[in-house]
Amino acid sequence: MSMNGDANHERCVNTLRTLAIDMVQEANSGHPGLPLGAAPMAYVLWRNHLRFDPGAPDWPDRDRFVLSAGHGSALLYALLHAFGHDLGVDDLKAFRQWGSRTPGHPEIDVTPGVEATTGPLGQGAANAVGMAMAERHLASRFGDEVVDHRTFALISDGDVMEGISNEAASLAGHLGLGRLVCLYDANDVCLDGPTSWTFTEDVGKRYEALGWHVQTVADGDADLDAIDRAIAAAVAETGRPSLIVVKTTIGFGSPGKAGTSDAHGSPLGEDEVRRTKEALGWPADARFLVPDEAKASFAAAGERGAEARAAWEERFSAWAAADAERAEAWGEALSLTPPDGWDEDLPCFDAGEKVATRAAGGKALNALAARIPFLWGGDADLSCSTKTGLSGAEAFDGRTGAGRNVHYGVREHAMGAIANGMCYHGGVRPFTATFFVFSDYMRPATRLAALNHLPVVSVFTHDSVAVGEDGPTHQPIEHLASLRAMPNCHVVRPADANETVEAWTYALRRTDGPTLLVLSRQGVPTIDRSTHAAASGLRRGGYVLAEAEGGAPRVIVVGTGAEVTQALEARATLQADGVPTRVVSMPCLEAFEAQDEAYRESVLPAAVTARVSIEAGATFGWERVVGLGGRALGIDRFGASAPGGENLERFGMTAAAVVAAAKELL
pLDDT reading at 422 higher than 90: yes
Domain 7-247+290-307 architecture: 3-Layer(aba) Sandwich (3.40)
| CB-based contact 414:129 (threshold 8 Å) | yes
Residue 152 · residue 227 · CB < 8 Å:
no
Asked if residues 555 and 515 have their Cβ atoms less than 8 Å apart, the reply is: no
Give the residue-averaged pLDDT of 289-308: 96
pLDDT at 1 over 90: no
Options 3.90.1200.10, 3.40.50.720, 3.40.30.10, 3.40.50.970; CATH for 354-525 is 3.40.50.970
Tens-place pLDDT, residues 432-485: 999 999 999 999 999 999 999 999 999 999 999 999 999 999 999 999 999 999
> Once rounded to an integer, what is the mean pLDDT over residues 378-391?
96
| DSSP H helices in 549-653 | 563-576, 589-593, 597-603, 623-626, 644-650
Average pLDDT over residues 302-320: 97
Active site residues: 412
290-320 burial, b at 16+ Cβ within 10 Å, e below that, comes to beeebeebbeebbebbbebbeebeeebeebb
pLDDT of residue 399: 96
Confidence of residue 528 (pLDDT cuts 50, 70, 90): very high
Contact in structure between 26 and 247 (CB atoms under 8 Å)? no
Side-chain half-sphere exposure of 363, counting CA atoms within 13 A = 16
Which residues, 6 or more positions from 227, have their beta carbon under 8 angstroms from its beta carbon?
Answer: 40, 41, 44, 45, 217, 220, 244, 246
For residue 637, is pLDDT > 90? Answer: yes
Mean pLDDT of 243-271: 96
Cβ-based neighbours of 487, under 8 Å, separated by 6 or more:
450, 451
The secondary structure of 395-461 as a DSSP string is BP-TTT---SEEE--S-HHHHHHHHHHHHHH-S-EEEEEEEGGGHHHHHHHHHHHHHTT---EEEEE
The pLDDT tens digits for 178-232 are: 999 999 999 999 989 999 999 999 999 999 999 999 999 999 999 999 999 999 9
Distances (CA, A) of 38 to 29, 103, 169, 382, 456: 19, 20, 21, 40, 32
Distance CA 658, CA 666 (A): 12
Q: Quick check: pTM over 0.85?
A: yes
- The continuous run of DSSP H or E covering 545 comes out as strand 543-546
Q: Which of 29, 78, 33, 14 is nearest to 252 (CA)?
A: 33
The ranges assigned to domains in the chain are: 7-247+290-307, 354-525, 538-665
Q: Does domain 538-665 have CATH number 3.40.50.920?
A: yes
* Domain 354-525 in the same topology as domain 7-247+290-307: yes
Residue 48 pLDDT greater than 90, yes or no: yes
Q: Report the b/e string of 536-574 with b at 16+ CB within 10 A.
A: ebbebbbbbbbebeeeebbbbbbbbbbbbbbbbbbbebb
Q: Are 396 and 406 in contact (CB under 8 A)?
A: yes
The pLDDT value recorded for residue 540 is: 98
Mean pLDDT of all residues in 64-81: 98
Sorted by sequence, the CB contacts under 8 Å of residue 96 that are 6+ apart come out as: 27, 29, 30, 102, 103, 104
- Residue length, the chain? 666
628 band by pLDDT with thresholds 50, 70 and 90: confident
